Amino acid sequence: GWLYFSRERFDLYYPSYGDTYPTYSGAIGMTYEQGGIGAGLTVTTTEGDPLTLKDRIAHHYTTGLSTIELSSKNATRLVDEFDKFFRENLNAPWPYKAYVIRSTNQRDKLNALLRWMDEHKIQYGHATVPKPVRGFDYETQTAITANISQTDIVIPVQQAKGRLITTLFEPQTKLVDSLTYDITAWNLAYAYG
């Protein structure tokens, strides 16, 4: 008998939100929120009703169990959708085929990025032979032709984590609402220098 509200109100741009990271990783990302963070034992809703900490705990507990129950009832479909997500990543027409990280970057930052990619099961390798390639230069923000070496890191996008890679390495994220974020700082090339 609880009232509830369901509406897509928040964007899925920032890939570190509790619902967004799972979405980019092939899972179902959900956010269950109620007012009251830092408000103590009771908060007054916009309708003037009291919402207690006890109520919020009961709502989250019940919602969590309901999610588990429905997931169990739809297990086959969920597994099929999970599999489909990763298969589609292997053949999707991504804007870039690969991202290249120069081995001439600061070693400690490069090692930190490689550890991060290992933790997130993102595949990478090296060019088999030195060769010229067309690409986008993050520093100059222009299309260039560059020679990649066998020590440069090559991150192919057509892999199971393709959507996450594209999201995290997108060089020029376009935001409709410029007031929502002051920067698009989640880009790994910028974050790891």
Has residue 70 got a pLDDT over 50? yes
Q: Which of 128, 112, 131 minimizes the C-alpha distance to 120?
A: 112
Has residue 26 got a pLDDT over 90? no
CA 37, 43, 13, 156 dihedral sign is positive
Tens digit of pLDDT for each residue in 49-67?
Answer: 888 889 888 988 998 999 9
Phi and psi, residue 44, nearest 5°: -95, 125
Domain ranges of the chain: 20-89, 92-191
| Surface-to-core class of residue 12, CB atoms within 10 Å of its CB (0-12 exposed, 13-18 middle, 19+ buried) | middle
DSSP annotation of 76 reads H
> Angle at Cα 91 formed by Cα 89 and Cα 92, nearest 5°?
65
Output 133 or 36, whichever has higher pLDDT: 133
Has residue 94 got a pLDDT over 80? yes
Torsion angle of the four alpha carbons 188, 191, 192, 193, in this order, in degrees rounded to the nearest 10: 110
Reported pTM: 0.76
Tens digit of pLDDT for each residue in 137-156?
Answer: 888 889 999 999 999 999 99
Has residue 36 got a pLDDT over 90? no
pLDDT (0 to 100) of residue 182 = 47
